[in-house]
Structures are given as structure tokens and as C-alpha cells.
Amino acid sequence: MKSKRRREVKPLVKREILINSDPHETRIAILEDKTLVELLVERSDRRRRVGDIYKGRVNAVLPGMQAAFVDIGLPKTAFLHVSDLVESLVDYDDMDDGPFDEEEEEEREFKETVKIEDHLVKGQEILVQITKESIGTKGPRVSGQISLPGRYLVLMPGAEHVGISRRIEDRNERQRLKKLIAGLRPSSSGLIVRTAGEGKAKKHFNSDVRFLTRLWKRVEARASRVRAPVLLHRDMELIAGLIRDIFTEDVHRIVIDSRKDHRQILSYVKSFSPELKDRVKLYTGKTPIFDHYGLETEIEKAMNRKIWLKKGGYITVDQTEALVAIDVNTGRYTGRKNQEETALKTNLEAAREIAKQLRLRDVGGIIVVDFIDMEEEANRKAVIDEFRARLRKDRARTKAFQISELGLVEMTRQRERPSLLHYFSEECPTCGGVGRVLSLESMAMRMERVLKRAAAESGEKKLQLRVSPEVAVFLLEERGLRLEQLERRLGIELDIVDDPSLRREDFRLILRRGHRDVTSQFDA
């Protein structure tokens, strides 16, 4: 008698989502067992574009690269590879919740007979969707394979297939879903069942199909009326998109500090998962929400190059435009027996921390990890197995290759947007880009958070902020109106004073009564 295939029992993780909603910046923290594992940020002047659909015009076709550059109306032209253009190159039976990204191209069965010059010519108009933000000097990456995500399904106009998220592992459930969805698939469109669709009934999928089909018809109608380059459809903003994509029964609660966004989230949740509405909470404390949950210090640490391990070793993370290099060192840890044991224990601890840091820092693209050399093959296997097990917790797609005799691991991680470091910082004008400094925008947001803490905790109403001349000009000329609004909202009087002795990243918060410096008290 054949034994039944047992499902892997996964340990329960308490997952929480904390949202700090400011008129000019939204920050979303995802916690697992009270540990910060992901941070998503969106600013009013730098909204995300992944998922947006454009009608573009082909600027150039490059047969040597099997790619084209497409004008979609943004400052930088978009990059379109042939593998993102032709539907037959996509493997729908091995997908997550959306289309593949550039780092997985080698996993596709590329067909040499497919040539981009057979499909596109210069000047041709084409519908494309952004799959990766503009990063550094590169423009956004786009796909000709449009995907419209719903709560439980992704609609793929122009495709003819049904796919199941690979995160749904149970074989019987995959077969059930495939049979069910095949009967719902609209003509000339493919469907992918998202992870949230596991265990759901036909009515849930019917609702998604109706909504997504209507949405696509609106996109097509607009595309037929306008000339390229033009935006046809804007995907959901950060908060709504996150609720759609990851708010499932696995999330213990969502806590948000904005009454307006709290109402919007409740309304959205009631429409698709009313059973989850009681998990949406409003934070009303006087202390800023991220301070209350001890997150600001963790966010600051995520900007550091060096991360210390509990046993005394450390890792360094160096990001370049081409790749990310991570180095593992024993540091103060010497072990009790021999060098091999020390290397193994440090590498195992580092493997766990690196997987955590990649996710928290949102580092993507090509990554090379230099583990400490180990002689024994069994030890190298133990380290790569542990590393891969930890990477499986990541929502982003990852692939880690075997560890080499030199201790090197080459891997890729899905990249849709700049890493946290590149989002919060800019090239240092002194070193010409070798190092990084906080951008003026990030400095301003940091000081606003400090002022909110000081107003909430000190009770003082008259404050002075001493900053470098460069930052003073930015605050007074670019942020003047916002500072006035902040003063009214917090009930404070604020003086901005330029101090040439201060560096760009330094500032001093002074209580005007007693002229007391309280910077260290309120700067996380």
C-alpha cells in the first residue's frame, strides 16, 4: 500500500504589520515574532511605479541584446527584453504570484528561434507594464506580458494558461485549484492562483475574475483612444497594495497611526475578507508608533555596513550598482576546539543573519557571499542548507548556488526597487560616490520624527533646531510650509538656526528654556 504524502507542518509565526502614515511619507514594518523583518517606504514625491501600465513607443530595437528601449513618458527610457515580450517563454506552472523577474531569466526555457526584431520595430506603439523600478543610471524594466493582480488571482491578458503559485505546495490542492480555475478562465486570458487562494471556494475566484476582467477592458478602452507615451493604469498605492497582497489569516494584526488610512483599510478589508476586520487596529498613543514598538533603532542599524553576530563574529555588506558583496568574519569569536569548528559555527550564524538582512534591507540582484573557508564538504553542505532554509522565508524570489571550495556563494534575489540604503541616501559629494550620506529629504524626515518625540515626551513648546547651512536652506526653502504645518499640529514654536560647525548629517535639538541640548534624548 502506498504511503500518503504528508504535508510539512510549519511552525506558527506571529506576523504583525505596523504602519506609520505621514502626509509625505508612509513606512510599513512587517514583524515576525516581534522582530522587524521587512520595511517598505513610499514618499509622496517618489511613489512606486511597479505594476503601472503604459502605452509606450519603441525608441530602439537592439538585436545584439535581444532587447528594446521603450519611451513611456518617464525621464529614462524603459528596457524590454525579448523574454518579457513573448508569452510562450513564460512557465506558468512554476510561478509565484506574478511574472518572473530578470534574475530568473536563466530558468526559462529560452527559444533561440524567437527574435525581438521579428516582433518590434522602431516607432511601434506597445502596451507595457513596469516590473522593476528605475535604479541608479538604469531606467525601469518593463514587460509586454501584462499582469493584473487581484486578491486571489492574477489575470494575464493575451495568455492561454492557468498557473498555481509555487508557494501552494500540497499536490491535491494544486490539482483542485487548477481544475476549478480552468473553468473560470476568460477567453484570451491566463490566470494564476495567488498564495492567498489556497483553500478558497469558487465564489472567491469568481469575484476576482469579474473585477479584473472589467479593469482590463477599461485599460484597453483607454489605450485605443490615446497616443503614446501615456500612463494607462496606476497600480494601488503602497498601503492598499500591501493589504491586497499579504493580509491573510497568517497576519495577527495591522496597527496604523492614521485615522483616515485606518478607515480606508477597514473599508477595503470588509469588501474582500470581512472576517479579518477585527485585526485592523488604530494606534492612538502620544509616542510615535515606531518608537512605541522600538523600531527606529532597528531601522538605523539596517543602514550600517557592519553587523555584529551574537557570538562575536560579524558580517559586512557592500552595495554597488553591479552586485552586492557580503563578507563573513570570525571577529572576536575563536571557538573552543579548532579552526574548522569556529568557521562552521560562525558561518551558520552568519547564514541566518544574512538571510534576515537581505530581506530587511531589500537588497536584490546579484549577491556574492564570502563565507569563512571550511575544509570539510559536510560542513559546507550544512551551511548552504541552513542558508537556503532561511531564504525560503523571504517573499522575494531567491536562488542560492552551491558553496565553493573557497567559501563563496553566488545567489540572486528578486529586485523591484532600490534597496533601503539607496532609497534613504545619495552619493556623497565629498567622496564622489564611494560612500553614502543621508539625502536632504531623509534628514528632514528624521528631524521631523525627533520633533514629534520631543513634543510628545518633553511637553516643551519652544524648540530650536541647529543644522548645517545646507540643511537649513533646504528646510526653510523646500520644507517651510511643511514645518509650519508641523508646528501647528504639534503646538510648538520652532527656530531653525544654521551652524557652520555641524556636518550635513548632524543636528542639535535645543530647548529654548534653559538652552538645554536634548538631541541624544530624542534622536533614536
What pLDDT does residue 120 have? 93
Q: For 160-305, list the strands marked E by DSSP.
A: 162-164, 189-193, 230-233, 251-256, 280-282
CA distance 269 to 401: 40
What pLDDT does residue 334 have? 63
**What pLDDT, in 10s, does the model give residues 427-460?**
776 655 556 778 899 999 999 999 999 988 888 8
| pLDDT(1) > 60 | no
Regarding predicted confidence, which is higher, 89 or 505?
A: 505
Domain boundaries, the chain: 15-46+240-297, 53-234, 302-420, 439-522
* Nearest in space to 328 (alpha carbons), one of 363, 280, 369, 283: 369
Regarding predicted confidence, which is higher, 428 or 368?
A: 368
| pLDDT(92) > 70 | no
| pLDDT(254) > 90 | yes
Fold for the domain defined by 439-522 = Hypothetical Protein Ychn; Chain: A, (3.40.1260)
CATH of 15-46+240-297, one of 3.30.70.20, 3.40.50.1100, 3.30.420.60, 3.20.20.70: 3.30.420.60
* Nearest in space to 470 (alpha carbons), one of 447, 499, 428: 499
**What pLDDT, in 10s, does the model give residues 394-428?**
988 899 999 887 789 999 998 878 888 888 877 77
Over range 141-161, report the average pLDDT.
92
What is the pLDDT of the chain when averaged over all its residues? 86
| Helix, coil or strand: residue 309 | coil
Over range 171-189, report the average pLDDT.
90
Out of 102-116, 156-170, 375-389, least confident range: 102-116
* Nearest in space to 283 (alpha carbons), one of 302, 303, 263, 258: 258
Which DSSP letter does residue 163 get? E
Binned at pLDDT 50, 70 and 90, residue 203 comes out as: confident
Q: For 341-390, list the strands marked E by DSSP.
A: 365-370
Out of 211-220, 240-249, 423-432, least confident range: 423-432
| Helix, coil or strand: residue 518 | coil
| pLDDT(337) > 80 | no
Q: Which three cell numbers stand for residue 292?
A: 512605541
Which DSSP letter does residue 116 get? G
367, β-bridge pairs = 324, 411
| pLDDT(278) > 80 | yes
Regarding predicted confidence, which is higher, 106 or 167?
A: 167
| Own/partner pairs, 334-337, CB within 8 angstroms, 24+ separation | none
What pLDDT does residue 187 have? 86
What pLDDT does residue 2 have? 43
* Nearest in space to 207 (alpha carbons), one of 218, 220, 196, 219: 196
Q: What is the CATH number of domain 53-234?
A: 2.40.50.140
| pLDDT(236) > 90 | no
Out of 9-13, 205-209, 336-340, least confident range: 9-13
CA distance 333 to 308: 11
Over range 34-53, report the average pLDDT.
89
What pLDDT does residue 146 have? 94
**What pLDDT, in 10s, does the model give residues 281-328?**
999 998 999 999 999 988 988 888 899 998 888 999 998 777 899 999
What pLDDT does residue 435 have? 66
What pLDDT does residue 504 have? 86
Over range 375-404, report the average pLDDT.
92
Q: Are 344 and 374 in contact (CB under 8 A)?
A: yes
| pLDDT(512) > 90 | no
**What pLDDT, in 10s, does the model give residues 95-117?**
555 443 333 343 344 445 788 99
What pLDDT does residue 342 have? 87
Over range 58-78, report the average pLDDT.
93
Over range 347-376, report the average pLDDT.
93
Q: For 139-270, list the strands marked E by DSSP.
A: 141-143, 148-149, 153-157, 162-164, 189-193, 230-233, 251-256
How many other CB atoms sit within 10 Å of the CB of residue 474?
18
Answer left, alpha or beta for residue 407, where phi above 0 means left and psi between -120 and 50 means alpha. Answer: left
What pLDDT does residue 99 have? 42
| pLDDT(9) > 60 | no
What pLDDT does residue 335 have? 58
Q: Which residues are within 8 A (CB) of 176 and not within 5 positions of it... i.e. 6 or more apart?
A: none
